[in-house]
Amino acid sequence: MNPSDTVTDGASSALVRYASIHEDPLIRQAIGVLEERLFKHGAELTSPASVREYLWLKLASEALEVFAVVFLDSQHRVIAFEPMFHGTIDGASVYPRAVLKRAIEHNCSAVIFAHNHPSGVTEPSHADKAITTRLKSVLELVDVRVLDHFIVGEETPFSFAEAGLL
């Protein structure tokens, strides 16, 4: 994980850097405002739609698969957004031990997982379902709740919670 990709550290996010490459100040400003509202000052996650849109903005343009975690406190306020694992065009290795370690380091009470499918298709694969189940089991051991897992693609991100898969 690249420390500059962690939103809480005050560094520019990868998406803001991406927008600056394209010299589009309106996009850069919009992403900055969204991050400020959702992820910089411990905002409460009360709107699944805004979380979905934020995660889509962060992950949809990635050429390779990225698995990220939103760490939350007991009031579901954001502690951090971290892209934790980077993969290939059709997969990323996700290590439950590393997720557990970061959850403990953040002293979080809940998490939201998100990853992109560079193919654009948001349907969960068997591997997506299996790693979500495994992560949920590991995190339950230390009383960290898994609130959702979003898959980002070309269309509306898929929600495991809304599909009844959590």
Asked whether the predicted pLDDT for residue 121 surpasses 50, the reply is: yes
Instruction: Please tell me the least confidently modeled range out of 17-26, 56-65, 66-75.
Output: 17-26
Question: How far is CA 160 from its chain centroid?
Answer: 13
Asked whether the predicted pLDDT for residue 122 surpasses 70, the reply is: yes
| Backbone dihedral region for residue 57 (phi beyond 0: left; psi -120 to 50: alpha; all else: beta) | alpha
Mean pLDDT of 117-126: 94
What 8-state DSSP symbol labels residue 52? H
CB-based contacts of 107: which residues, under 8 Å, 6+ apart? 73, 79
Question: pLDDT tens digits for 59-69?
Answer: 988 999 999 99
Asked whether the predicted pLDDT for residue 126 surpasses 70, the reply is: yes
Q: Which CATH class is domain 3-159?
A: alpha beta
Determine contact, residues 96/135, Cβ cutoff 8 Å. yes
Q: Map residue 41 onto helix, strand or coil.
A: coil
Please, which pLDDT band fits residue 15 given cuts at 50, 70 and 90? low
Roughly how many angstroms between the first and final C-alpha of the chain, as a whole number? 26
Determine contact, residues 143/109, Cβ cutoff 8 Å. yes
* Residue linked to tokens 């339950």: 140
| Average per-residue pLDDT for the chain | 83
| Predicted TM-score (pTM) of this structure | 0.76
CB-based contacts of 89: which residues, under 8 Å, 6+ apart? 63, 64, 65, 118, 119
